[in-house]
Structure 1
Amino acid sequence: MNVLSVYRLLLSSAALAALLSGTPAMAKEWKTITVATEGSYEPWNMTLPGGKLSGFEPELMADLCKRMEVTCKLSVQNWDGMIAGLQAGKSDVIMDSIVITPERKKIIDFTVPYAQTPASFITLKGNLLPEATGADALIKLHDNPAEINPAIARLRAALKGKTIGIASGTVYTPFIDKYFKDIATVREYNSSADAILDLQAERIDAVFDDVTFANSIMGKPENKDLTFSGPKLGGPIWGEGEAMGVRKSDTDLKAKLDTAIKAALADGTVKKLSEKWFKTDVTP
């Protein structure tokens, strides 16, 4: 046996011994991470005319990566394939106003949440219900039909026979299917922006989406015909809050992100960015 063969045999034996002894593999040294985002969900994330990504999440991610001393590469990806892309190794992190849910936790891991926001119906002004005010402006719900059904009775009555637009694959989609599909037509879209375009063209009657997204688009002059319809719905019904998704195998990366997020929450960075982009505090 020549020297090279002996060397290979020793390496193989060492690897086998480590495997049998249960010695854990060396943790990955994260110097660069690829972060997938939609790039079209204002004000969470958006693509500027020159192609640069901006918004609450890109700015927060830049701060977190600085804290972790890693280089971040933001990558635009369609919402529908984001989790599959993460699993396939196309990205290391997904960050797109993703709400933590029990179903998603079966597939991927989540960081600690960095935001928690309500949702509402958006309609053309003068249609359906007016925006709720005062104590009725926000209704916090648990995932309990006995609690939800009385709270949305007026919404169901107003939307009977109407067409509701919803971005597919969001945490809001099952809610709309469960509580409105029996009395209204539900139309799914690849993005929230596409649903809004159809609403303005009067091809649908309402869109159900995140309040922060709605506030962002309503602030533009060309969208002055849009308004909230009925109360804003929030609370545990939407899960634990918005967080970043990582592969279950990347526990070390999750730990680094958790530490950075907690620090950004503690020193007021998340609050400052949320007030800049949402005009309100969305910290969980």
Structure 2
Amino acid sequence: MKQRTTFRGICLTTLLSGLLLSAGGVNAKEWTSITIATEGGYEPWNLTLPGGKLSGFEPELMENLCPRMGIQCKLVVQNWDGMIAGLNAGKYDVIMDAIVITPERKKVVSFTVPYAATPASFITVKGTLLPPAPVIKLHDNEKEIQAAIAPLKAALKGKTIGIASGTVYTPFIDKYFKDVADIREYNSSADAILDLQSERIDAVFDDITFANSTLARPENSNLTFSGPQLSGPIWGEGEAMGVRPADAELKAKLDTAINAALADGTVKKLSEKWFKADVTP
């Protein structure tokens, strides 16, 4: 999922609060209940139903994991921009929002084992740029990346690209496309799609799970994938939950539950239900 050039939520306050909590977390804690923060608006990973109930891939996954751990779980809604800072300030115990593990985030957050690994792609109005193309797996290899994106750069020359701010894709778009296109950041992926429909921008770059959900809506029948889906280690280790570095016991409980849910097919089943594809790592 997502990260700004200096990723969302990382600031001096977050670093200091994380260090203070780490220093104070010497004694083991008996985890009988936890509070989990999610955005509640990044469909199909997480969404808010009429009446306020949280649903989606991640809330349903937690409905399976919490009984495995013998822990009572409470889900709360938190804007993504303040999620990591809120975690390290003690507002909740776990963050869960299609969060991709990155080296930068590891400096202030302890991640569980990943439960998903997803590619990303451009979304455009049908017939305006490139047709959909097969998946390309990319590693952290400059020559490989440049060769893969050359057709995309040519097609997007002089265009405007929308991207949700703070995503793992934001620095990629800034690095490789700002020399040929105007980059416009949004508070949410849904806002970028609205501007795409209003012809204020020419393309949106985002996770294919979000894209598939978006394209399935009747009002978006004029939209499509453009060019190849880009996957692989270039996006990091995969999506995982985050906990405070001091909470090693909680991370261990979550890791055990996630691994069990991966092994018995639970994660795959939920993935195919919500994403129409198997995105297990």
Give, as a single letter, the amino acid of the residue that structure 2 aligns with 1:187.
R
Give the aligned CA root-mean-square deviation in angstroms: 1.0
Instruction: Give the structure 1 partner of residue 22 of structure 2.
Output: none
Compute the TM-score of the two structures, normalised by the length of structure 2.
0.90
1:195-220 deviation digits (Å, cap 9, x = unpaired): 11111111111000000110011111
Which string of whole-angstrom CA distances, capped at 9 and with x for unpartnered residues, describes residues 103-151 of structure 1? 111111100000000000000111111111xxxx100001222110010
SS at match of 1:96: strand
Whether 2:67 is the aligned partner of 1:66: answer: yes
Match of 1:113 in 2: 114
Equivalent in the alignment of 2:11: none
Cα pair 1:159 1:183 within 8 Å, conserved? yes
- Residues 71-86 of structure 1 mapped to structure 2, 5 A cutoff: 71-86=72-87
Match of 2:253 among 226, 235, 256: 256
Q: Give 3-state SS (helix, strand or coil) of 1:142's partner.
A: coil
Q: Deviations over 1:151-188 (max 9, x none)?
A: 00000001111111111111000100000011111111
**Aligned counterpart for 1:146 among listed residues 143, 147, 152:** 143
Is residue 180 from structure 1 mapped to residue 181 from structure 2 by the alignment? no
Distance 1:121 1:130 in 2: 10
Taking the aligned partners of 2:183 and 2:148, their CA distance within structure 1 comes to 20
The residue aligned with 1:273 is 270
Q: What TM-score, normalized to structure 1?
A: 0.89
Distance 1:80 1:164 in 2: 21
> Aligned letter for 1:155?
L
Partners of 1:35 and 1:73 within 8 A in 2 = yes
Measure the CA separation in 2 of the matches of 1:167 and 1:50.
27
- Greater strand fraction, Structure 1 or Structure 2: 2
Q: How does 1:18-167 map onto structure 2 within 5 Å?
A: 25-132=26-133, 137-167=134-164
Provide the C-alpha distance between the structure 1 equivalents of 2:160 and 2:100, rounded to a whole number of angstroms: 25
The residue type equivalent to 2:258 in the other structure is: I
Tell me which amino acid in the other structure corresponds to 1:156.
K
Give % identity: 80
Distance 1:276 1:227 in 2: 21
Q: Quote the Cα distance in structure 2 between the aligned partners of 1:192 and 1:33.
A: 28
Residue 245 of structure 1: SS of its match in structure 2?
strand
Aligned length: 257
Higher relative contact order (CA closer than 8 Å, sequence separation 6+): 2
Gaps of at least 5 residues in structure 2 are 1-24
- Hey, what's the Cα distance between the residues in 1 that align with 2:202 and 2:185? 13
Deviation at 1:26, TM superposition (A): 3.5
Contact 2:26–2:246 under 8 Å retained in 1: no
Structure 2 distance, partners of 1:251, 1:46, is 28
| Distance in 1 between residues matched to 2:175 and 2:138, nearest whole Å | 15
Taking the aligned partners of 1:143 and 1:77, their CA distance within structure 2 comes to: 32
Indicate conservation of the 8 Å contact 1:79/1:191, yes or no. no
1:25: how far off? 4.4
Contact 1:119 1:211 in 2 (8 A): yes
Question: How far 1:90 moved relative to its partner?
Answer: 1.1
Task: Point out where structure 1 has 5 or more consecutive residues left out of the alignment.
Answer: 1-23
Mapped contact 1:138–1:233 kept (Cα < 8 A)? yes
Contact kept in structure 1, 2:139 and 2:232, CA below 8 Å? yes
